[in-house]
A and B are shown apart, each in its own frame.
Chain A
C-alpha cells in the first residue's frame, strides 16, 4: 500500500521567513499529488495539485510545490510566510495503479505556526 511521509510535525517561523515542508510518498508508479491546508476553524481546502507536465506547480496564496520523481518527493514552498499562513498542511497522493488505486492517501500533517 502506498504511504505518505511528511518530515516535520510542527514548524515554527517568524513572518517573512521562507518555508519548505517536505513530503515523500512510496508508490513507484504514476501519481497525482496534492497539498491541502486547514486553517484554524475552517475546512480542509486545496492549496495546489500536480498531475503532469511542469513539475513546478503554483497554488493559491503564493505557495508552490516541486515534484521530483526520482526522489518521490513533492515539497511545498513559500518564499515569505505571513501570520495568516498559520495552519495545518497535508500532503496527499492518489496513485493510478497498485493496491491503493484511486485512494487519496494523506500524510500525517505539518502544523505551521507563524509568529508576527
Chain B
C-alpha cells in the first residue's frame, strides 16, 4: 500500500497570506490527524477528522482549520499567516478512530513564513 502523502512538500509564504495543505491517507484509512512540529514546541496536535467530521481539536487559534472529504483526503488551512506558523506540518492516518490505533505519518509539508 502507498503511504500517507502530503502536498506540497515545501512552501514559502509571506505574513498575512493564507495556505492550504493537503493529505492523502493510506488507502482504507478513515481517520486523519494533523500535527505541527517546531524546534521550540515539538509535535503538537492540531485536529483529527473521521468520516468528514472533526473529532478532536488541539489548542490552536481559529486561523487553523481543516476538513475531510468523502474519500478521506484531508486539507488544513491557515489564514493570516504569522512568522510563528513556520513549521513542519505532519499528517497521520489510521484505519479507525479508536484510541488504540497506530497512526501512520506522512513526510510532512515544511512551511516557511517570511
- A interface, CB within 8 angstroms of B: 1, 32, 34, 36, 43-46, 49, 51, 90, 92, 94, 96, 101-109
B56-93 contact mask (Cβ, 8 Å, vs A): 1 or 0: 10110000000000000000000000000000001010
- From A90, A101, A106, name the one whose CB has the most chain B CB atoms within 10 angstroms: A106
Among the listed B43, B58, B105, which residue makes an inter-chain contact with A45, where contact means beta carbons less than 8 Å apart? B105
What 4 additional pairs, Cβ within 8 angstroms, besides A43-B108, A92-B43?
A51-B100, A102-B56, A106-B44, A109-B43
Interface size on B, residues (CB 8 A): 25
Q: Are A104 and B100 in contact (CB under 8 A)?
A: no
Contacts of B44 in A (CB 8 A): 106
Closest CB of chain B to A65's CB: distance in Å?
A: 15
Which B residues contact A (CB, under 8 angstroms)?
3-4, 33, 35, 42-45, 48, 55-56, 58-59, 90, 92, 97, 99-100, 102-108
Q: Indicate if the CB atoms of A102 and B48 lie closer than 8 Å.
A: yes
Q: Give, as a whole number of angstroms, the nearest-CB distance from B89 to chain A.
A: 13
Which 3 A/B pairs are nearest by Cβ-Cβ distance?
A: A106-B43, A44-B105, A108-B42
